[in-house]
Structure 1
Amino acid sequence: MTAERGADSADAVAPGVTRRGLLWGGGIGLGLGAVGGALAAASARPRTSPDSAASPSPQGRVVARGIHQAGIARPATPQKNTVVVVADVPSPMGAPEVRGALDALGSAVDRLTDGADAAVLPDGPGDLTITVGVGPRWVSMLDPQLPGASGLPVFASDGPLDPGLSGGDLLLSVCGSDAGVLHAIAAALLDAVPGAVRRWSQTGVRGAGEGTIVRNPLGYHDGIVVPRTDAELDANVWITDGPAAGGTIAVVRRLRLDVARFRGESAERQDAIVGRRRADGVPLSGGGATDAVDLRAKTPEGDYLVPARSHARAAHPSFTDSALMLRRGYAYSNATAGGTDADDGLLFVCFQRELETFVRTQHRLDEVDDLMTYATVTASASFLVLPGRTTDGAWGSAL
């Protein structure tokens, strides 16, 4: 295809994509939507220290404060469990009400992550992280020039997406090793915002693994191509200037996967769809699991070793002239007893400095990625993730 030939014939690296970043190759992200810490001492939370990836304390607590919110790049290996809630506040809202809601949320996050709310967390916060994002409607009330004021476009893969499961005013992403407390934490956060109504929510679980790489519900390695160093995060994930500096843009997509149909394909066909070997994650162009995908490599007959419509090729940043995304993927299952329709798949969350990074990638996947034919989007939204807090000022006051 034209885009593929152009990229195959060039040696350019997309803006914000380092040579080192490309060496991680085109791993299955299944964002099919673009298919990606600092831990405290028990008794104190730093109020003014910069965000950093520090070593764990004996309690495993993750510092909530910092230049960036926790739950994005911290901890470096995401916790096993998550509850993601997308909510609306249908009562009349203006900038003062939005600021008041964010201030109340900041106080609630403090109580929960400090372990001060014993009614919700009788055993302490553990490695709890809470990440808060603001939807386009709220962002526009604060300042229509802010990043995140525009939402996602309608993608070809969205199909007949229920309008009630598209967009939203508020994102609450609650992650931790203890799955039993996450729903209560999410409910406490919603209670902190008067009039908040849950639009949709989803629990998810990650497989075993270190860092960002785990197997997704199709059995393939996910989270290979992501920014990893502080420099790469600065170039690709964090908003670097303006009132939203330190924040990022989050995209949340729930993807129902036809796992049965995919696994009904031959092993060779599955690998060709993904562009990697299921057994070890090695690109079909050869090398190791984290080696670069060689987009130019061909068979003696002239066919691409990484097929033209494979996910590894379609999602490669060199085709979209896009930056990298930091992805967190979680498997989910909403099956009910006696139900006839399976609802299992991937809760896909990605973070990027500009929404356009995701938009360009998703448009390309819709055009040339065979893996998309096994996915149905059932929920979709984008949010401005607030900058972190290093003082006791109201959350979002800089906005």
Structure 2
Amino acid sequence: MKQVYLDHAATTYIYDEVVEVMMESMKSNYGNPSSTHQYGRKAKVAIETSRKNIARLIGCSSTEIIFTSSGTEGNNLILNNAVENLGVKTIITSKIEHHAVLNVVENLRQKNGVDVRFVDLDEAGNIDLEELESLLSKINDKVLVTLMMVNNEIGNILEYEKVGSLCSKYEALFHTDAVQAIGCIPVDLNEFNVDFLVASGHKFHGPKGVGFVFVKKDHVVKPMILGGNQEKGVRSSTENVHSIIGMEKALDLAVSVMTDSTEKIMKLKSYFVQKLTDNFKGIKFNGNSEGGNNGVPKILSVRFTKQHKMLLFGLDLKGIAVSSGSACQSGGLKVSHVLKEFLNEEELQKTSIRFSFSDSVSFDELDYVIDSLNSIY
């Protein structure tokens, strides 16, 4: 049976070069980076070299990078710290954020009495910047704005430079979950205002179980995990040396091939969109995922003309990996909390599937997907 992987927004395959540097590290770099002897110092140097390179690739200082186990941990760390240590009383967010943000914000509302405001969306799921400014202008308390840089289900790219400017204007903190952005679109932290940014290695062809947060200098972050005082006292736990090295290598490769990779992915996506519209009259594309500057190249969210509960399962039986939305929640299929916010009830009942690409996908594979969809649908 043919195998086609079109779920790169859920996770990516690991680059061969990343596997190689991680294997070499496992063989020769086994010291504890907190140890003072030469084995420990060697591991520590490897971590700090990776930190410097990652900082260089995203335009910040190495002192502003903290390594974590995941994007989820990073979001938890920043949001909890903002409320418990930085005096944030109000959080402005949207209802289409990842649950790694929404669930934390709801917990902070219940536990700490934080005032949570949700900014409106347009008909394509984009943030209403005028309303965001209106909200910011009316709040006198310390405010944190948390909006994801790229939506993981519909691929919409936040106008993050404008959001950063608004936050600067009204002296609000700005946190962005950039898990779907880092390694996929150009991000230079020198070019816009942001206080906190979160990334995860497995979204850009690195290993799972490792990520990082950017914390703008002068912000104090206190740890959620207490113990050994690693990561500048922000995250106690022996660092995952091999995965950190692998993540740095993956990001370096992703940035170096980004232009060529994006060009190929856009050609694949355009081809697939045309094939879909030719074969399935009346289908629509959710959010900005069809194309253009406001949608990330790798994500295409397709809404079919009717409900087909077995479509995802049928594709899986044919060896095709896709998603109904986020793959970061356990359990069965649920109505997308993202689509729910801007589709009417009739459209929401229709089956939507997220196809997400990498430059490893072939046109022949896309033809196979179209043929499979025809045979199932």
Alignment TM-score > 0.5, same fold: no
Task: Identify the structure with the greater strand proportion.
Answer: 1
| TM-score, length basis structure 1 | 0.24
Which structure exhibits the higher relative contact order, with contacts defined as CA atoms closer than 8 Å and separated by 6 or more residues?
Answer: 1
